[in-house]
Amino acid sequence: MEKTMPDYEIREWNMTNLPDEILNHQFVNQAIEARKWAYATDVIRLWLLKNYGGIYLDMDVYVYRPFDCFLNNQAFSCLELNPAELYSSVRKRRKELIGIGIEAGVLGAHKDHCWITDILSYYDNLEFKNDPRYYCYYIMPRVVNRISIEKYGFKQIPVYQPLSRGVKIYPAETFSWIYKWKFIGLEYNPDNIKALGNLMPMRYACHLTLHS
């Protein structure tokens, strides 16, 4: 990433340099004690964006080109799309659609932006219970989706969406994962991951999640 965006200040946040304020946050502290790191980092990324602003990237995000064209946005991310899960949700007429939402591995926002503040506030008085029956209430993509639908006009349809308060949600191929690599005629390997940016000029990054 340093080679792709040499003019950007890049920080790696970890337990040694995070402020005590966020480490002492009730939900974060309880998730860390339970060794459920993913749930802790969900809240940590929101707190960092609220207090510092900037662009948050998960460690497994491969960057192809600078994000300069996104810097004028008040806040941004992209869609996360799983066509099979979306089709299943629609076919079963579920109230909450699964398979389409907002990518949590790439988030950008100005300091104190209301979108980030609203999402973070969901966790402020929440206790982390280390019980799989409760995990669905904590997982960040569902929280982001719910708040974005209720307060910012997000629709669960696979198109670019300018939301209220300057939030921009770009198509999934901008930053998000590849649903099935075989569908684009490629094997999932390091060489093809590196080549993807040249093959897809609209792609600025790829979130290399477990399921991609």
pLDDT digits (tens, 9 = 90+) for 12-38: 999 999 999 999 999 999 999 999 999
Place of tokens 């506030």: 121
pLDDT at residue 210 above 70?
Answer: no
Cα→Cα distances 119→36, 114, 139, 167, Å: 20, 9, 12, 13
pLDDT at residue 97 above 50?
Answer: yes
pLDDT on residue 3:
87
What tokens does 57 get? 């990237």
pLDDT on residue 212:
46
Confidence of residue 90 (pLDDT cuts 50, 70, 90): confident
pLDDT digits (tens, 9 = 90+) for 116-131: 999 999 999 899 999 9
Query: Which letter, b or e, does each residue of 63-101 get, where b requires 16 or more Cβ atoms within 10 Å of its Cβ?
Result: bbeebeebeebebbbbbbbbeeebeebeeeeeeebbbbb
pLDDT on residue 34:
97
pLDDT digits (tens, 9 = 90+) for 42-76: 999 999 999 999 999 999 999 999 999 999 999 99
Confidence of residue 136 (pLDDT cuts 50, 70, 90): confident
Distant-in-sequence, close-in-space partners of 212: CB < 8 Å, separation ≥ 6? 177, 178, 179, 181, 188, 206
Q: DSSP H helical segments within 24-113, as ranges?
A: 26-33, 37-52, 83-91
In the chain, where the domains are located: 20-207
Q: How far apart are CA 176 and CA 205, in angstroms?
A: 7
pTM of the model: 0.93
pLDDT digits (tens, 9 = 90+) for 154-199: 999 999 999 999 999 999 999 998 877 776 777 888 898 898 889 8
Q: How far apart are CA 106 and CA 85, in angstroms?
A: 21
pLDDT on residue 93:
87
